[in-house]
Amino acid sequence: MTTQPRLVEVRKNVLKQNDVTARALRERFREAGVLAVSLVSSPGSGKTAFLEKTLTLLHSRYRVAALVGDLATENDAARLARSQAPVKQILTGTVCHLEAAMVQNALEGWDLTQFDFLFIENVGNLVCPSSYDLGEDLRFVLLSVTEGEDKPLKYPTIFNSADVAVITKSDLAAAVEFDETAALRNIQAVRPGMEVFKTSAKTGEGMAEYLGYLEHRRARSRAAAAVSL
């Protein structure tokens, strides 16, 4: 097909433009002293439940905010708003991932220095979000126990683009005969040394450990920013 090289070339331009915008966002986050964390996973892995629990637990001690991407509906923003944190929905239409420019537009009207943590929930997809840097400090990939232990092997690129893996819905592990050893082995095969948290937004299992990690990362990133000023 003669169109293939053109498609590749155009796609490169889109990605290059995205990288420029993402770099600018990362710089803004650093200057504002906010730790930006994005979440990726397949649809139905429990991203929104996990994020709602995160916002609720952090809310008393930190200033938190969230952006949430979906093709259609503002359901997730409505759910997350129950945590009392400021939340904005990004509707992507038919686009299967967030782009840095969408994040930039959604942030308009927010003073980032008023936040300690900014969470960005990507569209539910294990493929499209891989190539798009959103300027986040950390990218978490979520994997629910109901999805099957081989997802890291099947979607290596998204696991490679992420910094941390979170196993969700651990309360269902027994019911679905989740093989944790196999899941951990598959994660390490694709991304050796990757940090993994096992959590349940329902029972709260593993949430304290994961929140401790977030706090530690925020402190580290602020210390690094102070040194570079």
* Positions that interact with a second copy (CB under 8 A): 1, 3, 6-7, 10-11, 13-14, 17, 42-45, 70-73, 75, 94, 96, 123-128, 130, 144, 146-148, 150-151, 153-157, 169, 172, 175-176
What's the gap between Cα 134 and its chain centre?
A: 10
Q: How far is the CB of 62 from a second copy (least distance, A)?
A: 27
Burial (0-12, 13-18, 19+ Cβ within 10 Å), 93: exposed
**Nearer to a second copy (CB atom), residue 60 or residue 94:** 94
The answer to whether the beta carbons of residues 221 and 67 sit under 8 Å apart is no
The answer to whether the beta carbons of residues 124 and 45 sit under 8 Å apart is yes
**Nearer to a second copy (CB atom), residue 38 or residue 168:** 168
C-alpha 126/C-alpha 141 separation (Å) is 9
Q: How far is the CB of 200 from a second copy (least distance, A)?
A: 12
**Nearer to a second copy (CB atom), residue 164 or residue 190:** 190
Q: How far is the CB of 222 from a second copy (least distance, A)?
A: 34
**Nearer to a second copy (CB atom), residue 113 or residue 157:** 157
**If DSSP states are collapsed to H, E and C, what string results for 99-165?**
CHHHHHHHCCCCCHHHCCEEEEECCCCCCHHHHCCCCCCEEEEEEECCCCCCHHHHCHHHHHHCCEE
Q: How far is the CB of 146 from a second copy (least distance, A)?
A: 4
Q: Which of 127, 137, 122 is nearest to 34 (CA)?
A: 137
Q: Which of 218, 214, 30 is nearest to 113 (CA)?
A: 30
Q: How far is the CB of 44 from a second copy (least distance, A)?
A: 3
**Nearer to a second copy (CB atom), residue 8 or residue 227:** 8
